[in-house]
Amino acid sequence: MIKTIIYKELLEHLQTRKFVWTFTVCSVLILISFYIGAANYQMNLDKYNAAKAENLRQFSGLTDWLQVTGHHAFLPPSPLESIITGVSNDIGRSAEIFSRGELTSANSRYSNDPLFAVFRFLDLTFIFQIILSIFAILFSYDAVNGEKQQGTLRLTFSNPVPKDKYIIGKITGSFFAIALPLMLPLLLGCLILIFMGIELSLTEWIQLFLVILAGLVYFNFFQLLSFLASIVLPKPSLSFLSMLILWLLFVFVIPNASVLIAGKAVNVPSVDYLDYQKSRLRSQLLQEDRNKMAQFNPINTQDPEKMIQEFQEFMQDLGDSRNERLMDFSGRLNEDRQNKKGIQKRIALGIARISPAALFGLAVSTISGTSLDLDNNFIKNVQGYQTVYQQFMKEKTGILLDQGTVMMKINDDGENQPPPIDINELPAFVYQPVSINQNIKPFVVNLSILLVLNALCFTGALIGFLKYDVR
């Protein structure tokens, strides 16, 4: 019985013009998104390699490690972020490395190419979140009340058809009528990646599979909700209008409102304000140090070399002490900001999770490694690298320079030019992405909430239909 109903649903959908148009639009968009994603990845990889090479090239010919300034670490592009962009285009892709001081990321793709920020990329998240959810509504808003209006429901139930089997068969058939044909462009999209030389590791293939799985669960939510609307509301026009309003709420209003509400609820100091505070302290400390420098009284006044060495040590001590106080102050400010941001994030995500669109977005950006944590992880990596860099520079120069500090060394031995430094000795920055094991938990949490919403809609549709007047 269920098989007959599923088959009929499949056949009925596949024979409509609506399906032909939907399938064509979806296929074209999915294929374009994979193609653009792959092309962007290649372009970003080239940019990344060029930036890395240029970073090292700028140091060629230098003869002293003290002259090495403006060294950068770069966030490498990942193949998945070209298909599920998340925040990868919004965050800084590089960070200037100093031996001491606070590191920040800069140069986001959108800051370099603001035009893309206006239109954004057509990625899989966008296709599922916006387009497929609309199609799910288009295919199901009249699933039950449309049949009643058409008169086929009466004839159907003049046969020995149990209501539960009928509605389950209809839901399943409608789901597969869209989901199965969608697999074709998705598979072709994967082939595009392979043919364009984008190598995905096994983990990345698993991540991509999980993204598609989440997409289908999200798509199914809108289909189930449309079924529920078509059972509860008497006319297809009413159920369509209601679904459109719900869609707007879920896709746009709730996610945006959640950020606004969280912003109002918790006042997080801006980065500029923090920089101002840090800068003020830095000026104050420098002023104090200048006073101390004026009071510098060398022990070895006879030997100029020893005196210079003594002065250098004095300055290093001052620098260390100043840096310690600055780092301590910055750390406290940053921690306070991070804590407030954490509360703000929890409030925003808590509200946003009412929306299945937000749940889907969070789930896929987490599993593909393009969530809000991408920036934090890059900074963590860079901070880890700073320690290695610090040790290296200390070994090479004997001192640590602050951000923006330059030490001039004058060599008056014109005939014995010192040999250039071997820049290959500089420790390489190796980015460690967040592992799938770390990402799977938040992904499962978001997906589970989405599944619960699906289950609620399904139960509602089932109970509603069991009580439904089929006349």
Partner 1 sequence: MENINTPLLEADALTKAYEPDVLALDQVSFKIYTGQIYAMLGANGAGKSTTINIFLNFIEPTNGRALVDGIETHVNPLRAREKLAYVSENVMLYPNFSAIQNLEYFSKLGGHDYYTKSDYHEALERVGLEKSSHNRKLGDYSKGMRQKCGIAIAILKNAPAIVLDEPTSGLDPKAGHDFTDLLLELKDEGKAILISTHDIFRAKQMADMVGIMSKGKIVTEQSKKELQQQDLEQLYLQYILKENNQVQEN
Note the residues at the interface with partner 1 (CB under 8 A): 1, 4-5, 8, 11-12, 15-16, 150-152, 154-162, 469-471
* Residues in contact with 352: Cβ distance below 8 Å, sequence separation at least 6, in sequence order: 254, 255, 258, 259, 358, 359, 362
Residue number with CB closer to partner 1 (114 or 162) = 162
Q: Which residues pair with 94 in a beta bridge?
A: 74, 106
Sign of the Cα pseudo-torsion (394, 399, 403, 405, in order): negative
Residue number with CB closer to partner 1 (272 or 469) = 469
Q: How far is the CB of 145 from partner 1 (least distance, A)?
A: 14
Q: How far is the CB of 177 from partner 1 (least distance, A)?
A: 13
429 closest CA partner among 8, 71, 63, 177 = 71
* Residues in contact with 299: Cβ distance below 8 Å, sequence separation at least 6, in sequence order: 310
Q: What angle do CA 356, 364, 34 make, to 5 degrees?
A: 115
Residue that is written with structure tokens 């954490």 in the block: 342
Residue number with CB closer to partner 1 (159 or 291) = 159
298 closest CA partner among 290, 289, 306 = 306
Residue that is written with structure tokens 């949490």 in the block: 445
Q: How far is the CB of 140 from partner 1 (least distance, A)?
A: 16
Q: How far is the CB of 465 from partner 1 (least distance, A)?
A: 14
**What number of other Cβ atoms are within 10 A of residue 53's Cβ?**
10
Residue number with CB closer to partner 1 (444 or 470) = 470
Residue number with CB closer to partner 1 (161 or 253) = 161
Q: How far is the CB of 211 from partner 1 (least distance, A)?
A: 33
Rounded-to-integer distance, Cα 225 and Cα 264, Å = 31
Q: How far is the CB of 466 from partner 1 (least distance, A)?
A: 13
Residue number with CB closer to partner 1 (53 or 466) = 466
Residue number with CB closer to partner 1 (18 or 380) = 18
Rounded-to-integer distance, Cα 234 and Cα 216, Å = 28
Q: How far is the CB of 367 from partner 1 (least distance, A)?
A: 39
Q: Is 410 helix (H, G, I), strand (E, B) or coil?
A: coil
Tokens representing 233 are 């509301």
* Beta strand ranges found along 364-448 (DSSP E): none
Residue number with CB closer to partner 1 (168 or 254) = 168
Q: How far is the CB of 92 from partner 1 (least distance, A)?
A: 54
Backbone phi, then psi, for 433, in 5-degree steps? -70, 160
